[in-house]
Amino acid sequence: MKNKIKCAIIGCGRIALKHFEAINQHQDSLQLAAVCDTNAELVKQIATDHNCSAYDSLSDLLRQSSAELIILCTPSGLHANQTSLCAAAGKHVMTEKPMATRWQDGLKMVKDCDDAGVELFVVKQNRRNTTLQLLKNAIEKKRFGKIYMVQVNVFWTRPQDYYDQAKWRGTWEFDGGALMNQASHYIDLLDWLIGPVKSVQSMIGTLARDIEVEDTAVMNIKWRSGALGSVSVTMLTYPKNMEGSITILGEKGTVKVGGVAVNEIEHWEFEDSDPDDQKIQEASYETTSVYGFGHPLYYKNVIDTLNGDALAETDGREGLRSLELLIASYLSARDGEKISLPLEY
């Protein structure tokens, strides 16, 4: 029997709940050793509920806790510095999306973890959704033939009181806007599913919310394969989250995975047949959460990687691929120009 991996969760906001659930589902392999949050009252209550240690300072936790894997559920703009501190302390790091809000910060996170000889995991749990796994399989089997066009829609709503709940929300330094925050997992699909991107051209706008960043954005994309596509994102959909979807139009196939959060296969049609076609109905699932159910599956790969039984599926370098697209999109919107990839390293 291998020893349980001791974990610590930093930041006990809404996304942390998914990590508590995932750790509990893997309690044979994981142990929650500590939690940390600047809200002392909240973190003490959570520590009591989960029978673990409580800290209100990451530096204190790194000095005193035996945790081996530090899970960052903090505002995105804090991830880079916190990752560096964890790496210097010899701790493995798992960070929620996006891994950073600045390109150079993302590069430094990877370098610091490399230099320290620790793992850096970037959470991309949507990749584990059954709907997207079937879509990925279809692409890898080349069932589409040549892919011509891709459309991603994220039509959600975030009212003003959502941003008002915390000062860091809706800021450039700590959060990022609709593209970087809410649509981050959808931007990840552009490279993971379709392949390397050649160039992007974007426009963003703050149309209704009192925030620094964009609440609405559009993005045109050209892939190196020649495929064309676009992304439409808004947090202003009335009156609730409406759609999170990806549509792929190819030479020999057409698919739309939609629902509120790519949880429903709405169209699936190919020239050829495949055993996967019989799995379409059971792959779709009901959800009221935009997070999906991929966190426990994501954790399984992390456990296997730390135990030496697998390679990390979404490590720091994989995280950089979507961060690069996000930064390129913001540069395009700022300068009114088409941005070619890769960005300079």
pLDDT tens, residue by residue, 76-111: 999 999 999 999 999 999 999 999 999 999 999 999
The pLDDT, as a whole number, for residue 289 is 58
The pLDDT, as a whole number, for residue 1 is 47
The pLDDT, as a whole number, for residue 304 is 97
- Give, for all 345 residues of the chain, the pLDDT tens digit: 479 999 999 999 989 999 999 999 999 999 999 999 999 999 999 999 999 999 999 999 999 999 999 999 999 999 999 999 999 999 999 999 999 999 999 999 999 999 999 999 999 999 999 999 999 999 999 999 999 999 999 999 999 999 999 999 999 999 999 999 999 999 999 999 999 999 999 999 999 999 999 999 999 999 999 999 999 999 999 999 999 999 999 999 999 999 999 999 999 999 999 999 999 989 988 765 555 668 999 999 999 999 999 999 999 999 999 999 999 999 999 999 999 999 986
The pLDDT, as a whole number, for residue 2 is 75
The pLDDT, as a whole number, for residue 137 is 98
Alpha carbon distance 305, 343 (integer Å): 29
The pLDDT, as a whole number, for residue 291 is 58
Alpha carbon distance 31, 15 (integer Å): 19
The pLDDT, as a whole number, for residue 288 is 58
